[in-house]
């Protein structure tokens, strides 16, 4: 049974939300974040990515960065940039453009559900990133961003959400700097809130799409707080406290959009291209393409490849596929590419640590790929996106995907719905 909870959100004033909201901290580099902050000092990146407000190369500990971010948040609050709801609410959050549309329920999820495995994951967390988020949440006593969570499509829930938008209680409508139209509704009617809570009770699994580090850090902070309270006062966990919950946007799996993470491998000047292609043809059907436009696969087990400025279509041979282990992880295209090509033919043994390997994902991936292809110093592989069905199956099997297997788009904006627990 999935527990969802309304909450008293801390959120921007309507006329400021477009300036405040930002992309998540983990998909934007220092230089781009600094550029955004210089142009727009009200960007929420000052809170979630405080290192971007510092001079390049200045090193700070996780705690020091967390204090800088918390100070920026407090400055926003003192300037009355944010308003605090006076009663518990749910929210609806729609993101759309001319290519896609999705609408999710903004609600708090239970730490206990995460620990019990009702909230499932498909990624490992990076220790350094995770520790930074723990410091950030614990210092600010606020969950500053919603994680993206998937539930299996449920008509009752989706119809209820559709009906809730009819009341036109729109609190935000703006276009963000990534070109996405963002529209949000507030649900404060008790009967609708109760209907939504009851509608999620039959759901036995929720799946984290984006935000594994934020979710894990939120759980860690709640446990640290509980340990401190037991040490000070004794007693059991109080599940009614806000630190036992964290905010998420819940989306039906039919509305999830996943883009591919492509692979680029830097090659040495003495790289033997003829030998590589000969070995590759034992694994794939290889066809050189006439066009110099990047080839994007249209189905599983297909790949595009650029080498020396030329594009090729690759299709894994059936006899090679049949030899692969019948395991969901090994059947993923990212695993097949790694295990059959990158490791044995190019020597990429550890994708997370090999400096020769780059990952490119997102809407602007083709622009970067075109630039890299012109340099002719990379072998580029384009992939077909991992499916949401694969994500769900991996999560249910309690397995984890290889690094950079999924890019969920669009990204949930930070700084719209904050969940404070500093008044407990």
Residues 6 or more apart in contact with residue 226 via CB below 8 angstroms: 237, 243
Q: What is the CATH number for 395?
A: 3.30.1760
How far, in whole angstroms, is CA 305 from its chain's centroid?
26
Same domain, 19 and 111: yes
* Predicted local confidence at residue 405, as pLDDT: 95
For the chain, give the mean pLDDT: 93
- Split into its structural domains, the chain has a count of 2
295 DSSP assignment: P
Same domain, 201 and 274: no
Q: What is the span of the domain harbouring residue 158?
A: 4-257+409-420
Same domain, 383 and 298: yes
How do strand 245-252 and strand 101-110 relate by DSSP bridges?
A: antiparallel
Alpha carbons 32 and 50: distance in angstroms, whole number: 13
Assigned token pair, 250? 């819940």
Q: How many residues does the chain have?
A: 424
Count of other CB atoms within 10 angstroms of residue 127: 9
Mean pLDDT of 389-399: 96
Same domain, 240 and 287: no
Mean pLDDT of 20-40: 93
Distances (CA, A) of 23 to 20, 43, 48, 123: 10, 9, 10, 20
Same domain, 307 and 280: yes
Same domain, 272 and 241: no
Q: Is pLDDT at 149 greater than 90 in this prediction?
A: yes
Same domain, 223 and 312: no
In the block, tokens 């609806």 appear at: 92
Assigned token pair, 137? 């949440």
* Closest by Cα among 90, 95, 44, 109 to 244: 109
Beta partners for residue 184, in sequence order: 93, 172
- pTM for this one? 0.93
For the stretch 338-363, pLDDT in tens is: 999 999 999 999 998 899 999 999 88
How do strand 245-252 and strand 419-420 relate by DSSP bridges?
A: unpaired
Same domain, 218 and 276: no
DSSP string, 149-217: EEE---HHHHHHHHHHGGG--EEEEEE-TTS-EEEEEEE--HHHHHHHHHHHTT---EEEEE-HHHHHH
Same domain, 179 and 273: no
Our CA angle for 190, 254, 111, nearest 5°, is 50
Same domain, 269 and 413: no
Q: Is pLDDT at 235 greater than 70 in this prediction?
A: no
For the stretch 48-68, pLDDT in tens is: 999 998 988 888 999 999 999
* Closest by Cα among 210, 198, 6, 215 to 92: 6
For the stretch 166-200, pLDDT in tens is: 867 899 999 999 899 999 999 999 999 999 999 99
Same domain, 58 and 9: yes
Alpha carbons 259 and 101: distance in angstroms, whole number: 15
Mean pLDDT of 4-14: 97
Q: Is pLDDT at 236 greater than 70 in this prediction?
A: no
Asked if residues 377 and 383 have their Cβ atoms less than 8 Å apart, the reply is no
For the stretch 268-318, pLDDT in tens is: 989 999 999 999 999 999 999 998 889 999 999 999 999 999 999 999 999
Task: List helix spans (H) across 234-272.
Answer: none
How far, in whole angstroms, is CA 4 from its chain's centroid?
20
* Predicted local confidence at residue 104, as pLDDT: 96
Whether the ω angle into residue 410 lies within 30 degrees of 0, i.e. cis, is yes
Same domain, 272 and 389: yes
Please give the radius of gyration of the chain, using alpha carbons only, rounded to the nearest integer.
Answer: 23
Task: List helix spans (H) across 40-189.
Answer: 45-48, 62-78, 111-116, 127-140, 155-164
In the block, tokens 């204090």 appear at: 67
């Amino acid at each position: 049974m999935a527990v969802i909870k309304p909450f008293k959100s801390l959120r921007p004033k309507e006329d400021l939300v477009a300036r405040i909201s930002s992309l998540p901290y983990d998909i934007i580099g220092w230089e781009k974040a600094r550029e955004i902050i210089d142009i727009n000092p009200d960007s929420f990146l000052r809170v979630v990515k405080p290192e971007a407000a510092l001079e390049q190369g200045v090193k700070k500990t996780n705690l020091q960065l967390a204090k800088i971010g918390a100070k920026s948040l407090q400055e926003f609050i003192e300037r009355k940039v944010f308003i605090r709801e006076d009663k518990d609410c749910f929210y609806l959050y729609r993101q759309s453009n001319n290519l896609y549309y999705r609408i999710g329920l903004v609600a708090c999820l239970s730490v206990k559900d995460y620990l019990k495995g009702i909230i499932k994951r498909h990624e490992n967390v990076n220790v350094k990133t995770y520790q930074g988020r723990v410091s950030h949440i614990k210092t600010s006593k606020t969950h500053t961003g919603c994680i993206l969570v998937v539930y299996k499509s449920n008509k009752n829930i989706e119809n209820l959400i559709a009906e809730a938008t009819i009341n036109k209680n729109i609190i935000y409508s703006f276009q963000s700097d990534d070109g996405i139209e963002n529209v949000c509704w507030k649900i404060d009617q008790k009967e609708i809130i109760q209907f939504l809570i009851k509608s999620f009770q039959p759901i036995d699994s929720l799946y984290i799409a984006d935000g594994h580090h934020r979710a894990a850090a939120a759980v860690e902070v709640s446990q640290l707080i509980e340990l401190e309270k037991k040490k000070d006062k004794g007693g059991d966990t109080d599940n009614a406290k806000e630190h036992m919950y964290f905010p998420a946007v819940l989306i039906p799996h039919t509305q999830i959009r996943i883009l591919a993470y492509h692979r680029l491998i830097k090659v040495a000047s003495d790289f033997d291209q003829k030998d590589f292609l000969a070995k590759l043809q034992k694994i794939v059907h290889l066809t050189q393409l006439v066009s110099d436009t990047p080839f994007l696969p249209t189905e599983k087990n297909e790949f595009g490849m650029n080498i020396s400025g030329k594009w090729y279509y690759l299709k894994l041979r059936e006899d090679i596929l049949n030899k692969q282990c019948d395991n969901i992880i090994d059947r993923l295209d990212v695993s097949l590419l790694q295990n059959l090509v990158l490791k044995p033919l190019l020597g990429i043994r550890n994708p997370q640590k090999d400096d020769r390997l780059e990952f490119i994902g997102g809407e602007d991936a083709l622009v970067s790929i075109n630039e890299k292809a012109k340099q002719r110093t990379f072998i580029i592989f384009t992939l077909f996106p991992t499916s949401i069905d694969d994500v769900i199956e991996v999560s249910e099997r309690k397995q984890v995907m290889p690094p950079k297997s999924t890019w969920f788009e669009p990204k949930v904006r930070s700084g719209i719905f904050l969940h404070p627990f500093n008044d407990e």
